[in-house]
Chain A
């Protein structure tokens, strides 16, 4: 069990460029979440998948944001036409839906820090 991994760890981009982040969840976990954390704030929910199905999207997820989980394993989060307000830490988490009390535990990756200049 290697935990949740995210790549890249840091990304600096110019306003208007597109960026894509990748998340690899814990291998047996079937749920995958994306959160955004800005300075001085707690993480805010963006979207989540169960297997390859995207089940919920937050109102924070504008049309410029798209997320995929094509084979129910890794996920990508793409931001098109980045704006300075997109600068944040993007966190991925995974969990296992099933029986047992650990089914509500989300395991977080180290995050991708995006800076838009």
Chain B
């Protein structure tokens, strides 16, 4: 079985500053990795995913993530955040070739002016 740890429950940051949201996973098999964003009272939207190939993955809204197999991490980064990036971010993992997702507890990104 897989598990996901998001180390920070909240990350406060000023507008235009860079941000990194941390995600570590545990699995005994190959995995696929995902980052989702959830705005208040809305469902989850896929930001980016890693299935195979290049370990640096670019997603929507200027976000990117890097898969590090040796450290079992998939940290999310953005070089310059906007107020509109304020939301909850979830890291998720699935067993490779298998579709159900296991989510972390989420990290609330709070962007202030």
Query: Does A71 count as interface, using CB distance less than 8 angstroms?
Result: no
Interface size on B, residues (CB 8 A): 22
Interface size on A, residues (CB 8 A): 25
Please state if B103 and A95 are interface contacts (CB–CB under 8 Å): no
| Chain A 92-117 interface mask (CB, 8 Å, partner B; 1/0) | 01010100010011111111000000
B43's contact among A95, A105, A110, by CB below 8 Å, is which? A110
Residues of B4-51 contacting chain A, CB below 8 A: 4, 32, 36, 41-46, 49, 51
Please state if A110 and B41 are interface contacts (CB–CB under 8 Å): yes
Residues in chain B near residue A43, CB distance under 8 A:
44, 90, 101, 103
Residues of A1-47 contacting chain B, CB below 8 A: 4, 31, 33, 35, 40-45
Query: Does B82 count as interface, using CB distance less than 8 angstroms?
Result: no
Query: Does A74 count as interface, using CB distance less than 8 angstroms?
Result: no
Residues in chain A near residue B49, CB distance under 8 A:
104-105
Please state if B43 and A31 are interface contacts (CB–CB under 8 Å): no
B interface majority secondary structure: strand
Query: Does A67 count as interface, using CB distance less than 8 angstroms?
Result: no
Query: Does A91 count as interface, using CB distance less than 8 angstroms?
Result: yes
Please state if B94 and A104 are interface contacts (CB–CB under 8 Å): yes
A65 to B72, CA, bound (A): 35
Please state if B99 and A95 are interface contacts (CB–CB under 8 Å): yes
B99's contact among A104, A109, A110, by CB below 8 Å, is which? A104
What are 13 A-B interface contacts by the 8 Å CB criterion? A31-B99, A33-B99, A40-B106, A43-B101, A45-B100, A48-B99, A91-B43, A95-B99, A104-B51, A105-B46, A105-B49, A109-B43, A110-B43
